[in-house]
Amino acid sequence: MNAIITATELAGDLAGENPPVVLDVRWQLTVAKAAGEPPFDGRAAYAAGHVPGAVYVDLDRELAGADGAAGRHPLPDLAEFGAAMRRAGVSAVRPVVVYDGGQGWAAARAWWLLRWTGHPDVRVLDGGLPQWRGELSTDVPARVEGDFAPVAGAAGLLDADGAAERARSGVLFDARAGERYRGEVEPIDRVGGHIPGAVSAPTTDNVAPDGRFLPAEELHDRFKALGASDGTEVGVYCGSGVSGAHEVLALAVAGIPAALYVGSWSEWSSDPSRPVAVGPDPQ
């Protein structure tokens, strides 16, 4: 099953016999506060207009646990995550489509969590809401309780030690911007740099200017050139497990399975005992 869906395909599915549950996961990293700008309000954006029938899901409160030693967006409590998904109408027998404002990171986080916890049919709207050509709605759909019961997956998740091992024995992609990987700037976390052995692979290079993913063949060739050869175990991390999920999604589009280090750099760099590499090279 393809991990992404076009806006045209979504419109057709919504008019079909078994329409998907649609989740609006609009979110932005709140780094604008320093400039005196108010933080992005996803709920307000949803209220102003959303895909008809879509239900709003809050990334910070429903797709992540509390900021702390495990990172800025650690795994949510599975019972709380399951309750949030059921409130949104998610059931095991209905497909799910998630979208955000176009960047794709937040939608990919929802996609990854649902897939990792056992939902069989989840796709991301390629390019997000800007690709939607139908009318937008301001109506909040009537609540329909779902029955999805998340179960932690046996694979697809890395902790800090697992990420370090993946960098040694397979390939570990760093999905952040190159300047953060090199340690030239670090606007959020304690220190700049990267996990020793990790390969710089900014997730922004996986998409076209309109936010849609590059063709699967191009993505496959890109990741192969970066070290993801056939049979290689692949891991991904980012700042806090959000843009990294977008890279895992890009890898899925390319037909390459990958595990996500959810704690990512926000967890790794918070522990002074863990080594930090700087510069353009993995080591």
Taking the C-alpha atoms of residue 72 and residue 240, their distance in angstroms, rounded to an integer, is 6
Taking the C-alpha atoms of residue 279 and residue 190, their distance in angstroms, rounded to an integer, is 17
Q: Which two tokens stand for residue 91?
A: 């059931």
Taking the C-alpha atoms of residue 66 and residue 74, their distance in angstroms, rounded to an integer, is 7
> The dihedral of CA 37, 41, 46, 48: what is its sign?
negative
Distances (CA, A) of 113 to 7, 76, 120: 22, 9, 12
Taking the C-alpha atoms of residue 108 and residue 177, their distance in angstroms, rounded to an integer, is 17
Q: Which residues are known catalytic residues?
A: 238
Q: Which two tokens stand for residue 29?
A: 């990293």
Q: CB neighbours (10 Å) of residue 204? A: 16
Strand order in the sheet with 199-200: 157-158, 259-261, 234-237, 171-174, 199-200
